[in-house]
Chains A and B, each alone.
Chain A
Amino acid sequence: MDQKREVGLGEGRGREERTFSRWKRGEVIFFGLSSAFFLFMSFEALGQLGHGRPGEMGSGVWPLIALSACLGLSGLQVYLSWKSSAKALSPPEEVLESKPRRKELVLAVVVFALYLLAIPWLGFFLSTFLFVPAVSWALGERRTRVLVLGAIVVTGAILGLFGWFISIPFPKGVGIFASLSRLLH
């Protein structure tokens, strides 16, 4: 691991790519979409103007201030990105070759989404048991021993700590899965 690169949670990624035209195009699209979102919400906020108690400014004013600022700033950013995209370079070959692992990313996101959708049906613990090896595999783990042990140990720890000790009322699932969850509890 590169110890000198101090990447933090409070900031973004993709710093290496930042100067390239491809990235700037993405930026224009992203801030363009946010502008559209803020514009839509502003219309929603307009409907709330005038609702309020006598003497104060009402429900609509504060959100409208925030939304106009968002709209203005994201519009400005679209302009700034668009302007700098003209100056940006096309990426050199070694950057094109060291592509980020898009496949792993998409897989991880999809597995996570499926997990969340499965919880209400399969119950929390069965879904978790299946999720651990699935997402580990998606992230590139290929050792069977790690996948199997991970599923057992992590699910066991979560079950013990949250299910039994603190007894958070997790979704139990439906039908046969509910009975399984009750058995585990």
Chain B
Amino acid sequence: MTVHYLNALATILAPENLIAMVLGSLWGLLAGALPGISTSMGVVLLLSFTYTMPPMTAFVLLVGAYLGGITGGSITSILFGIPGEPSSVPTVIEGHSLAKQGKASYAMWVYLLCSIFGGLFSTLVMILATPLIADFALRFGPAEYFALTVLGLSVVSGLSGGSLVKGFLSCFFGLFLATVGTDGITGEERFTFGTVTLLGGFNFVVVMVGLLAVSEIFLEAEEPFQEYKGAVEYKGLLGELPPFSLFKRYWITMIRSPIIGTIVGALPGAGATIASFLAYGEAARTARHEPEKFGRGAVEGLMAAECANNASTGGSMTILLSLGIPGSNTTAMLLAAFMIHGMQPGPLLLSTRPDILYGIFVAMILTNLLLLVLVGMSIRLFLQLNKLPYSIFSATILILCVVGAYGLNNSMDDVLLMFAFSIIGYFMRKFQVPVAPCILGLVLGDLAELSLRRALLLSGGSILGLVSSPISAILLAGATISVVYPLFKKPKGIRGV
């Protein structure tokens, strides 16, 4: 065992592999951070270079890009309020709010430390408990997926801010938006009004960028002209490091979120985005310190989302390496890389190519540490962007939003939809309708509906099929309690309208 790890370490420390790791991570960070290009696209573009590489170098490069992409997605989220990756949407809500309050450096460090912690945590879980995670993930059938999404949706009251009516309205609006497009069970078109654009439904990056990032610029346009918004002088080389006591105070979130991330990341039907939303929602539901801050810069929400989305990498890799099933789009590319090099990930990998398996384990740990250094060193650099004149900064954000929406499918249709959502978002926020529940509904709605209908198909139409397994029964019970309980709880303080 130890010999394997030492061998793997020795291979990876070879100069060409180290260079591949640095280049892969940098490329991943860039692909993740830039709105027009997703992590999986970033990995695809690298894939064609790996045809001629030795397998180990290829995997070090691709793993670097994968982890870098998931990590990089949050940089633009915090600085510009545009999600570089769908999985960093909660980061936009909490992280960018913090940045607007002049705490960009603080938010960046919290995000970075939590990301790396989540990434390392899940890598270790993967190394130590692969069979356990894989077995648990396989128990998730349609009924369990449905229960999981219901639990996720049940946190809506925690995200509703002042008014429960508006919070639930926003959530159901999101659920409705999720049904637009081709129905995944019958193949029928719903609410498309004959347009090709809507056949695929609303991509939630489009909705999210419109509702949050663009509408934010419009709302700011109304406010008195200010110069150098958010620009704050930082002391020291590294910026404002969060104190250790912060992580101690939120230790429950720090433990729970990576676990959620690892498990949900291992589910082929879920992935990083749902993982980060579930962890974020759990943090909002159970927040003991400052629950009122959710939606306007809650450090705890930022921590939960970041721990979880990076932890999903370990879960996703677990299921790929142990079963050959990709848990996400990006790991599907890694599967393609295995194929290109004539290997098949799965139960046989341990016996056929232990060097590759252990090599990937070691590479994931080292890449996480490398990312800490790479991003950590550049935080101050990123913060310089805030010194751009406010008007130019806003123009840049708008352009990045356009690029982000366009890059999804290389189509202007998505950009126009984004514009429509920015107008909706402007009025929603003007009239105090919280946006987070809507995005939650959109993210979980499709999986919820389709899983429910699949479960019904499997059980022959019987509702009892939904609670026949212990996992789904427990998840649904938890969801019921969390919806019913706050309705009878007396409102605290001055949160109500």
Contacts and interface: CB of A to CB of B under 8 A. Distances in A.
Contact of B102 (A3, A9, A137): A3
A9 B97 contact: yes
Contact of B169 (A45, A53, A73, A112): A73
A135 B188 CA distance: 41
Which residue, B45, B294, B431, has most C-beta atoms of chain A within 10 A?
Answer: B431
Interface string B383-412: 000000111101110110011001100101
B285 interface: no
A55 B457 contact: yes
B371 interface: no
Contacts of B176: 38, 41, 63, 66-67, 70
B256 interface: no
Contacts of A107: 221
DSSP class of A's interface residues: helix, strand, loop or mixed?
helix
B65 interface: no
B161 interface: yes
Contacts of B173: 66, 70
B169 A168 contact: no
A171 B216 CA distance: 26
Given A10-B94, A58-B186, A150 B395 contact: yes
A132 B412 CA distance: 19
A56 interface: yes
Contact of A55 (B31, B294, B456): B456
B394 A135 contact: yes
Contacts of A7: 97, 100, 296
A171 B414 CA distance: 13
A21 interface: no
A1 B230 contact: yes
A69 interface: yes
A54 B456 CA distance: 10
A154 B100 CA distance: 22
A4 B214 CA distance: 24
Interface in A111-154: 112-113, 115-116, 119-120, 128, 131-132, 135-141, 143, 146, 150, 154
Interface string A44-79: 110010011111111100110011011001101100
B402 A105 contact: no
A162 interface: yes
A3 B423 CA distance: 27
Contact of A139 (B97, B169, B391): B391
Contacts of B449: 62
A108 B217 CA distance: 9
Interface stretch (A12-20, A89-97, A174-182): A12-20
B406 A9 contact: no
Contact of A104 (B222, B402, B433): B222
Contact of B429 (A13, A59, A140): A13
A86 interface: no
B248 to A, nearest CB: 23
B421 to A, nearest CB: 13
Contacts of A31: 431
B446 to A, nearest CB: 10
Nearest to A132: B395
Interface in A23-54: 26-27, 30-31, 34, 38, 41, 44-45, 48, 51-54
A74 B101 contact: no
A31 B169 CA distance: 10
17 contacts: A1-B230, A8-B296, A9-B81, A11-B434, A12-B433, A44-B191, A55-B456, A56-B185, A56-B453, A62-B175, A62-B179, A63-B191, A74-B169, A116-B412, A131-B395, A136-B391, A139-B391
- The 8 lowest CB-CB distance pairs between A and B, nearest first, are A8-B296, A10-B295, A8-B97, A141-B391, A136-B391, A12-B432, A100-B222, A73-B169
Given A9-B216, A67-B176, A77-B166, 9 more contacts: A8-B93, A8-B296, A56-B461, A59-B188, A73-B166, A109-B218, A112-B398, A143-B389, A150-B395
Interface of A: 1, 3, 6-15, 18, 26-27, 30-31, 34, 38, 41, 44-45, 48, 51-59, 62-63, 66-67, 69-70, 73-74, 76-77, 80, 100-102, 104-105, 107-109, 112-113, 115-116, 119-120, 128, 131-132, 135-141, 143, 146, 150, 154, 158, 161-162, 166, 168-171
